[in-house]
Amino acid sequence: MLLPLLVASLLLQDSTRPAPNARVTASEPRTIALDEVLAEKAGLHIGDRVVVASRPNEPGDTVIVAAIVRRSTDPSEVAREDLRVRMHLDQLQTLANYGDRVDRFAIATKAGADIPKLIGRINDVAFGFRAYRSTDIAIETSRTFQVVSRFHRAIGIITIVASSVFLLCIMVLKVEERRRDIAALRLMGISRSTVVRAIIVEAALIAVLGSGLGIFLGWLVSLFVNWHYQALYRTPLAFSIVTPPIIAVAVLLSLVLGIAAGIGASLRLVRQPPLALFGR
């Protein structure tokens, strides 16, 4: 399947106030489709007549709004507020004074087609254009996302470092708070290793419970982030996803940090004489 495409800037004008010399064809005006955002902003509805022109103060064509469409979810267009009209190719070529030209062809191949071979054949016979795989174009045009992705990764690492230090602090302080309990256990004759094990188990339990609560909070925040940005950018794209690997990393990290803090703090405490832990 071949899909020729031409992109041009257009001006829309309410046909109740037609542009001077607007072309009105004898036959029924042709149809266009509007993005829902454009339709909402311009207050246009299906059946409305508008004049489209490629430049201000130029005669345009009177057309009928036949459809209001929702754009596909393209992340590269999220922050842009481009308003789009879809119209018949030949009409746009005439309006934009573009001749019988298009910006690009999109080609759908049949199932099982050898795409590299096909591209090679097109390029061998091409005169004035070149064929690319859609994935190669996607890679080339996704540089912005690569940058954003690297930025997110860097922010993520900094956040993990900050969270780790915070978790370690909290765990060490919590163990320190138990110095009298530890002193009592030691005075009762419970061995150092048993005390250390007990503290480690307790720290691990706290870490697992904390990470469970954290995952729930993260999930709630993720829902809020998606709700906010989907409404802001009018897109169904997901901005934040809580995936099983993320959950696994969060639980594992908090478990490791909790156990490390438990070991460090408990070893420090059990090495001290019990009476010193009492402050005597």
Partner 1 sequence: MLAIVGVAVAAAMLLDMVMLATGMRQSFRELLLTRGFQIRLAPKGTLPFDTDATIPDVASVTATLRQNPDIGEISPVLGGSIHIPIGDRDVSASVLGIDPSVQGDYELLSGRDLRAGDDVVVNDRLLAALGKRIGDTISVATGYDPQTRSYSAQRNFTITGTVRFLYGAADQSSAAMRRETLKQLNASSPTRAGDRASLFMIRVRQGGDVENARRWIESRIPIVSALSIATAIAQVDQRLAYFRQLAVILGTVSLFVGFLLVTTLVTVSVNERSGEISVMRAIGVSRTHIVEQVVLEGVVISLIGAAVGLAIGLVTARYLNSILSAFPGLPMAIDFFLFQPIAAWSALGLLTFSGIVAGIYPAYRAASLPIAETLRREAIA
Question: Smaller CB distance to partner 1: residue 66 or 215?
Answer: 215
Instruction: Give the binding range for partner 1 (CB under 8 A) out of 39-47, 49-57, 187-195, 242-250.
Output: 49-57
Q: Return the residue of 81, 103, 114, 136 that touches partner 1, per CB under 8 A.
A: 81
Q: How many of the other CB atoms lie within 10 Å of CB of 167? A: 22
195-254: which residues touch partner 1 (CB under 8 A)?
229, 232
Instruction: State in angstroms the smallest separation of the CB of 172 from partner 1.
Output: 6
Q: Please state the closest distance from residue 47 (CB atom) to partner 1, in A.
A: 25
DSSP result, 137-195 = HHHHHTHHHHHHHHHHHHHHHHHHHHHHHHHHHHHHHHHHHTHHHHHHHHHTT--HHHH
Cβ nearer to partner 1, comparing 31 with 94: 94
Q: Report the nearest approach of partner 1 to the CB of residue 162 (Å).
A: 4
Query: What six digits make up the tokens of 179?
Result: 């110095």
Give 66 or 174: the residue with its C-beta nearer to partner 1. Answer: 174
Closest approach, Cβ 80 to partner 1, in A, equals 7
Residue 98's Cα: distance from chain center in Å? 36
> 102 is written with which tokens?
């298009």
Tokens coding 15:
């046909």
- Quick check: 176 binds partner 1 (CB under 8 A)? yes
Measured from the Cβ of residue 44, the count of other Cβ atoms closer than 10 Å reads 18
Residues 119-148: x where in contact with partner 1 by CB under 8 A, - otherwise, as a string? --------xxx-------------xx--x-
Q: How far apart are CA 206 and CA 270, in angstroms?
A: 20
Q: Tell the smallest beta-carbon distance from residue 96 to partner 1 (Å).
A: 9
Specify the stretch interacting with partner 1 by CB under 8 A; choose among 32-40, 170-178, 209-217, 245-253: 170-178
Q: Taking CB under 8 A as the rule, does residue 110 contact partner 1?
A: no
* Closer residue to partner 1 in complex, CB, 31/93: 93
Q: Where are the beta strands (DSSP E) in the chain?
A: 2-5, 11-14, 30-35, 49-53, 61-69, 85-87, 104-107
230: nearest Cα among 35, 57, 75, 108 = 75
Contact 167/214 with Cβ under 8 angstroms?
Answer: no
- Which residues of the shown chain bind partner 1 in the complex (CB under 8 A)? 9, 11, 55-57, 79-81, 97, 127-129, 143-144, 147, 150-151, 154-155, 158-159, 161-163, 165-166, 168-170, 172-173, 176-177, 180, 229, 232, 278-279
